[in-house]
Amino acid sequence: MEMRPVTTSPRLTDRLGRRISYLRLSVTDRCDLRCRYCMAEDMQFLPNGDLLTIDELAVLSENFIRRGVRKIRLTGGEPLVRRGIDDLARAIGRHIGHGLDELTITTNGTLLDTHAEALAAAGVRRINVSLDSRDPDRFRAITRRGDLADVLRGLEAAKATGLAIKINMVALKGINDDEIEPMLRWCAEQGFDMTLIETMPLGEVDEDRVDRFLPLDGVRAQLAADYTLTPIDHRTGGPARYSRVEELGVRIGFITPMTANFCDGCNRVRVTASGEIFPCLGHEDAIDLRGALRSGQSDAIDAALDEAMSIKPDRHNFRIAERSAAPAVRRHMSVTGG
């Protein structure tokens, strides 16, 4: 059956005139890992009854597409632990070419071997895989419980389906900073892109982020001493700024919320698995979409989305400066999907 475009409505535009074209949709706050910069070891997750159903997530996605969102990224927690994730990907993927340009997913890769084929069949063409170390012992130390072999097996499965892969690596001072250049070389060998990310102060974790924060301006300078980094216009919808590493023939991106603010061009909002829309990752302000979705009133979601646009701030307020300082926001990264 031919897929007809979702009927459009006025595009989502915030009070500063920024058009919102990118939705990061969290399908769960749960994760099978406990990465030390992201979570506390002992986490309390939402009851399953608080989560939007798969059907509700699909309907909500359609409403965002109708309001001008062209790209949706499925996130978590770890999205692949959510039962029905393949069904959701199929439901959203039906809109590709009919209002939606792209459906992508960010995963830790541990379950990717059992989902890669279904995701590709749903219309996903590229994925981000979070991988902070290729040393098995260090990987387990960072994730507190992960098995690197599971991720590598998932990456092989994704490659076999033809999915384009980008490796996301959070740069952690004193933990994996010596692996950045080797990771770049490995990505070039594998045909993967790579993005480096500065750690962000979201939620209480079990160590001081000051000890682990690694500014990426210094990392870039170190890489530039050994390689030719040519800035390019490549964009994937998010905040990464890319360069081509000429000697390796690979793209590297830098996401720098701490050292080089990029909020003036923000085109993103985030929706939690319980149906809250956060106009900014770095603020606590949110609008409830679940109530609007379940109200049965046709214009309730539009009204909630318009309210979210009215409170989107001009920039985040991330800071990592003082030892033992409280995080910028109380919620963990896993709640809003980064």
**From the annotation, which residues make up the binding site?**
24, 31, 35, 37-38, 73, 77, 106, 130, 166, 200, 263, 266, 268-270, 280
Q: How many CB atoms lie within 10 A of CB 144?
A: 13
From the list 84, 168, 91, the residue with the least C-alpha distance to 126 is: 168
How far is CA 135 from each of CA 19, 41, 147, 149, rounded to the nearest angstrom? Answer: 41, 21, 10, 10
Q: Which residues are annotated as a binding site for [4Fe-4S] cluster?
A: 31, 35, 38, 263, 266, 280
The alpha carbon dihedral of 314, 243, 149, 160 has a sign of positive
Residues tagged in the binding site annotation for GTP: 24, 73, 106, 166, 268-270
Sequence ranges of the binding site for S-adenosyl-L-methionine: 37, 77, 130, 200
Please list the residues that pair with 252 across neighbouring strands.
Answer: 194, 243
Residue 304: strand, helix, or coil: helix
Task: Return the amino acid letter for 256.
Answer: T
Q: Edge-to-edge strand order for the sheet containing 102-107?
A: 229-231, 241-245, 250-255, 193-198, 164-171, 126-130, 102-107, 71-75, 22-26, 268-271, 276-278, 287-288
Angle, CA of 162, 20 and 199, to the nearest 5° = 70
Rounded Cα–Cα distance for residues 72 and 135 (Å): 32
